[in-house]
Amino acid sequence: MTVNTTIQVSGVKETINALKKIDPQLQKDFRAKANEIAQPAINAAKDVYTQVPLSGMAYKWNSRGRQLFPFSVAKAKSGVKLRIDTRRNAVGVILIEQKDPATAIFETAGRANANRLGDQLGFVGAGRTRLIGPAVYKARRGVEGEMEKMILDTARTVRQAM
């Protein structure tokens, strides 16, 4: 009696997780290639940080023992990173994020509720960011096709390996 089994990878998260099970080096290569493909969008996000938004942001701010500021352009640029999130409840899988706390506060201040910092920086709508979001959305057209092709090729590799 013969037994037939088929393994089907249905999504990006599953493909990336399957890479780690097959060979961890494959997942590292996937991350490196994704970072390389997304580099134009990452560079566009870095290029929007040219100056300190408010003069007071250049000074130290502490909140409950945690240092939130000073804001610096160099730290803002180095904080832009690509992240691959394969958790079950993740909204996106391949993300371009701002890791610097001061810059993240600048990007989102006043978004959820009105406050003095948000009022000084200007209005930003719910679910939006001030600089990084628009920059990435403008640059993503050139990245999406390449990323989709790489993901489909990776899924094909995973299916062949299993």
pLDDT value, residue 76: 92
Each residue's pLDDT tens digit, 11-39: 788 888 888 888 888 888 889 999 999 99
Mean pLDDT of all residues belonging to the chain: 82
- Contacting residues for 37 by C-beta, under 8 A, at least 6 apart: 143, 146, 147, 150
Structure tokens at 26: 């494959």
Tell me the pLDDT tens digit for each residue of 104-140.
Answer: 888 888 788 887 877 778 777 777 788 888 898 898 8
* pLDDT level of residue 74 (50, 70, 90 thresholds): very high
Residue 2 main-chain phi, psi, to 5 deg? -100, 150
* Percent share of the chain, pLDDT over 90: 19
pLDDT at 5 over 50: no
User: 110's torsion region: left (phi>0), alpha (psi -120 to 50) or beta?
Assistant: left
Provide the whole-model pTM. 0.78
Cβ–Cβ < 8 Å for 159, 46? no
**Residue 81's pLDDT is what?**
92
Burial (CB count <10 Å: 0-12, 13-18, 19+), residue 100? buried
Nearest to 109 by CA among 63, 74, 46, 152: 63
Sign of the Cα pseudo-torsion (49, 53, 58, 61, in order): negative
How many percent of the chain have pLDDT more than 70? 93
**pLDDT tens column, 45-55:** 999 999 888 88
Show the CA angle centred on residue 88, arms to residues 159 and 104, nearest 5°: 115
